[in-house]
Amino acid sequence: MRTERSIPWLMLSKIIMLNYKAREEDLSLFYEKNAENPVPEPCDPKDDLFEECDESSQINPMDLFFVTFLSCDIMLKQEIVSKLFTCRLAIPILYRDTNRKHVLTKWGLRKILMDKRTDNKSVQIDALHLETKRVSFIRIGKQTMSKSIILNEILRDQSHPTFFNRDCRLGASKRLVASGLVEASWFLSSGPDDAFGEHVMFMNLRGESTEYREEVEILCKLTNLLIVHTDILQLDNSNVREILWTLHQSKIQVLYALESNENPPVQSNKIYRDYRNHIMEFKSLTRFFDLKSGQHTGSASDNTKKLRKTIKEIISETHASSLEEEINKLTISDENMSENFAVSNDKAVDVVRLISSDAGPQKHELLPLQGQIWQKYCTALKTLYRSKSNDEKPISESQMKQNRLQQYRIYEEKMHPFVRVFLQHLHGFYNSNLEQMYCYLAWLEHFLDEKSRNILPQLILNYQEVWMKMKSANEKKNLREYEYERLKNVVATTERQLFDASFGLEHLFREMGQIYEAVIKHSVFTFRDRKANFVCQFPQIMSLLLQNGHAFEIMDGDIAMVPLTWVKAVFQQLKKDIGEKKLLAISVLGIKSSGKSTLLNAMFGLEFPVSAGRCTRGVLAQLVRVEKGILPFAYVLVIDTEGLRAPELADKKHSHDNELATFVLGLGNITIINIKGENTAEMEDVLQIAVHAFLRLKMANGKLKLQQTCIFVHQNVSCVNAKTAMTLSRQKMMDKLDKLTCEAASQEGLADITSFSQVIEVNTKSNMWYFSDLWFGDPPMAPINLGYSKKVFEVKTDILYNIAQQKTTFLTISETMSRIEDLWNGILSDDFVFSFRNSLTLKAYHTLESKFHRLMWNIDKNMYDFLQYSVRVRLARCVHENQLDNEASEVIAILQKQITEKQTLCKEQLINFIESNYHREMMEQWRSSKSIQLSEHVTELINSGIKDIQKNKTLRAAALMQKNKRKVHELE
């Protein structure tokens, strides 16, 4: 229900959901609804029947947006600015605050990233530091043409309301508070052949510029070119001339965009010549352009194209500079100058100073607890859970204890100043000023991402070069094996450097978790000293951050391990902070770079952190509070995941993806299966393994009750009737999943499981969604597709108010923690099923394994029969020790020959079985390993047989000796 009070919130939520019509949509719908249901008034015979539309009582959407923007804190302003830029809408850059002081949007610009090519590298630079040229538009007088519409046409050929204008809904309503506001947008160049050949920033002063002299003065100091949109008659006005003279004195380029539609050409030319003579002193810095309104051909007028060309010619002679460089020359405050922001900035700078320019290669030194020691600990933990030998378990436990002790000693004695200072400031802010703590973390995130962005381009270039060398060598086959292996190692090294270069705030939180686990696990440690109290506050800090919009890492993105002690501590603290609330867990799963994080961020207004230069890693969670009393749960736990089939994880094959998918599907009450396009093959593979894993987990842990629901989101599907067109493929996919689920259940001895939906609930009619592409057109100038935003809203509504409402129970915080623990322990205990690509591969392996065991059993039986019925009989016939020695040597030779011959035969049978099998292509990958396994088994078998023969020989020799002793005794 739209009310005047709710409209600002609706507008903000739609901006966050990337709806570029958010500024005016709900406000106009509110007025339309009221117009349909007016309050009846008594009829007055004096009233006219037909009246002009009175728009003075209607709020201008720009006023509503601007007042709402002013009411936001600096963090929300930054998020709004970021979303506006993504929607390709103009952002507020210069305005007066509630105290009528000028404010510049510096903090918001730091989050806007643009790609710029330099020296064959693509570098990401934020809008504040990007060196670019700036063009400003001002208006003098009321003109026929809209300045904002002209600007929109300059920016792109296609219609898009970057700058709100009179053609937008409610655009003609009177503007009261947004006049004087300066907005900005960018032309983002895709290459030298486009309209401007470089990035250009455009600024637009709202309202009559003669009423906002200070704003115009500021623009003159920031801009390379000032475009004055006015009527030719205004140039004949002495007051206007005086104002314009002041502009020219700033010695900037000025372009007059003139209208002369109502004036006779003779009069217009006279005024033009007279004014040109008036400003002769500034002739070299002044150009004139005749705006011929009404001469439009197509979506962009010929006149607009000429105007673009004129602007390009003028700014080509000017110097590009960063906006921050120009702002620093002004005596004007910016939004960062609050005490909280200034103090937190200083502390963040203290921390970042302790890093040299190369953040990536230093990561193992700065954050040692999450490096090799943690990797070794995780390897030992997996060995402990998965080992079938009791002898290995004490070794693994000892290794883990040693690793934790190493971590603890590093924390106590060798912690890098970078981490120590970070924690000191974080602890200080937590105990004194929470607002400063949030600002401190925001600054740190900005600085760390900036450092990563600075070093990534060169690392990417290095990786591309060595990768191309290896590709070329692979195609030409011109390298010796050792040279090719060396090149592969170089590729792996550069890939790792690229991976390590991503250094964000999440790595600092991860180090906190490792410190906490090391301290807790160290048996000597007691919680009575100051350091203990300090570490005890880590879960409290993380819980507070989780409640206030920060993401919490559940699974380590680099090691693919859940630090259970740390995760449990944070969730337990969360329960203390907010109570034992019910949660709806929503997770997402999909192939790498398929838009999972973007989808969740748009759906719930989140900011899942993605460090500069790479996609999401691991499993991250954010907490979203829902309105009281409307839904049967208090919070939504939104779970984002790294993409499956990531190239950088190719060496880990399928086990990583399968473990991740099982964990994420098990954790979410509802999982969004995100698919780029219409092809479901990759996700089918993962779902097959997940189902099999769930069945095994259920068998291993009876208390693990999984009631999962999946919905499928197909992104980048352009067909209008996609849902109907893909009915057959959907049904085929489900039939395939049902069949494979049934086979998996049969293998595990679960006869009651016959369909996929018995394990993971999915409705192929209502739980299938089809999105158009995120972008409407070609990047970088393409705006967000309005259809995408609307679909996001529909899916969110369906999840919260339909699918979730059908569920009878929801996990509490404690139960969610138990679910995480049970799932992860189950995954740790059972690595077998995760190593396969899909259930078909698993079936092929089982078939091959069954044949292999039959062949080995035949060899075993052959040796057993030989030992039982041949060796013992032949040794028993020996009556002299020399005869026994000869017989033993002979049967050993016979054994070796027979088993070797049997091995050759079995190997041939195995090869024939693989080559003639329906699944031969899948089985081929195990041919070599099975041959080696067969050889190793035969070697062990022969050694065992020889030992058995030697044992029987010893027993027979002892028997002969006893017999001889008895004979001697009898003779005596």
248 with 279: CB under 8 angstroms? yes
Please tell me the distance from the alpha carbon of residue 887 to that of residue 897, in angstroms, as a whole number.
15
Cβ–Cβ < 8 Å for 621, 511: no
β-strands 253-259, 225-231 pairing: parallel
146 three-state secondary structure: coil
Position of tokens 């049902």?
A: 738
Task: Tell me how far apart the alpha carbons of residues 965 and 200 are, in angstroms, rounded to a whole number.
Answer: 110
User: What pLDDT does residue 42 have?
Assistant: 42
Residue 137 three-state SS: strand
Query: Could you tell me how many helices (H) and strands (E) the chain has, helices first?
Result: 33, 20
For residue 803, the 8-state DSSP code is: I
| φ, ψ for residue 289, nearest 5 deg | -140, 130
What's the token pair of residue 492? 């792996």
Q: Provide CB contacts within 8 A for 603, sequence distance 6+.
A: 17, 792, 795, 796
* 164 Cβ contact list (under 8 Å, min separation 6): 23, 24, 61, 62, 90, 148, 171
CA 972 to each of CA 214, 431, 879, 963, 964: distance values in angstroms, whole numbers, following the listed order: 135, 101, 22, 15, 13
CA distance 96 to 679: 51
- Residue 51's pLDDT is 43
Distance CA 71, CA 84 (A): 17
Q: Phi and psi of 37, rounded to 5°?
A: -125, 65
Alpha-carbon distances, residue 772 vs 224, 599, 782, 858 (angstroms)? 39, 13, 14, 60
Residue 252 in contact with residue 226, Cβ under 8 Å?
yes
Condensed to tens digits (0 to 9), the pLDDT of residues 699-740 reads 665 556 666 888 989 888 866 666 666 777 778 888 888 888
821 to 185, 206, 663, 792: CA distances (angstroms):
48, 57, 10, 32
Query: Residue 935's CB: how many other CB atoms inside 10 A?
Result: 12
Measured CA to CA, the distance from residue 89 to residue 14 in angstroms comes to: 13
Instruction: For the chain, give the number of residues.
Output: 972
SS3 assignment, position 132 = strand
H or E stretch including 228? strand 225-231
Identify the segments of the chain with pLDDT beneath 70.
Answer: 1-2, 36-56, 293-300, 335-337, 357-361, 388, 523-532, 609-615, 645-654, 682, 686, 697-707, 718-725, 831-842, 921-922, 969-972
For the record, the structure tokens of 884 come out as: 């026994």
| 3-class DSSP assignment, residue 501 | coil
Pairing of strands 102-104, 91-96: antiparallel
Q: What are the Cα distances from residue 540, in Å, to 403, 409, 436, 574, 577?
A: 25, 24, 17, 8, 9
Give pLDDT, residue 839: 56
Query: What is the Cα 502 distance to its own chain's centre?
Result: 13
CA–CA dist 115, 126 (Å, integer):
9
Three-state secondary structure string covering 674-734: EEECCCCHHHHHHHHHHHHHHHHHHHHCCCCCCCEEEEEEEECCCCCCHHHHCHHHHHHHH
Bridge partner list, 710: 671
DSSP character at residue 918: T
Beta bridge partners, 184, equal 91, 203
- Determine the pLDDT at residue 228: 98
Domains of the chain by start residue, with CATH:
86-335 (3.40.50.300), 580-837 (3.40.50.300), 840-971 (no CATH)
Tell me how far apart the alpha carbons of residues 109 and 125 are, in angstroms, rounded to a whole number.
10
Q: Give the Cβ contact number of residue 339 at 10 Å.
A: 10
| The one-letter amino acid at 459 | L
Q: Which residue has the tokens 């890098």?
A: 416
CA-to-CA distance for 424 and 427, rounded, in angstroms? 5
Q: Which residue has the tokens 């052949």?
A: 193
Beta pairing class for 708-715 and 768-770:
parallel
- Report d(CA 470, CA 495) in Å as an integer: 13
> What tokens were used for 389?
């030998």
How far apart are the C-alpha atoms of 620 and 640, rounded to whole Å?
5
Alpha carbon distance 98, 366 (integer Å): 44
Tally Cβ neighbours within 10 Å of residue 911. Answer: 13
Phi, psi of 709, rounded to the nearest 5 degrees: -125, 140
All residues at 6 or more sequence positions from 615 whose CB lies less than 8 Å from its CB, including other chains: 592, 593, 597, 642, 643, 646
- What does the pLDDT read at residue 676? 83
Exposed (0-12), middle (13-18) or buried (19+): which is 764, by Cβ within 10 Å?
middle
Handedness of CA 221, 223, 224, 226 (dihedral sign): negative
Q: Which two tokens stand for residue 13?
A: 């939520």
Instruction: Tell me what pLDDT residue 223 has.
Output: 96
Per-residue pLDDT tens over the stretch 867-903:
888 888 888 888 888 888 888 899 899 989 999 999 9
Q: Give residue 114's identity as a one-letter amino acid code.
A: M
Cα distance between residue 2 and residue 26, in whole Å: 8
pLDDT of residue 650: 46
Amino acid at 68: T
Residue with tokens 């507070």: 544
pTM: 0.82
291: CB partners within 8 A, 6+ apart: 145, 150, 229, 257, 258, 259, 303, 307
Do the beta carbons of residue 528 and residue 417 sit within 8 Å? no
Please state, as a whole number, how many other Cβ atoms lie within 10 Å of the Cβ of residue 493.
13
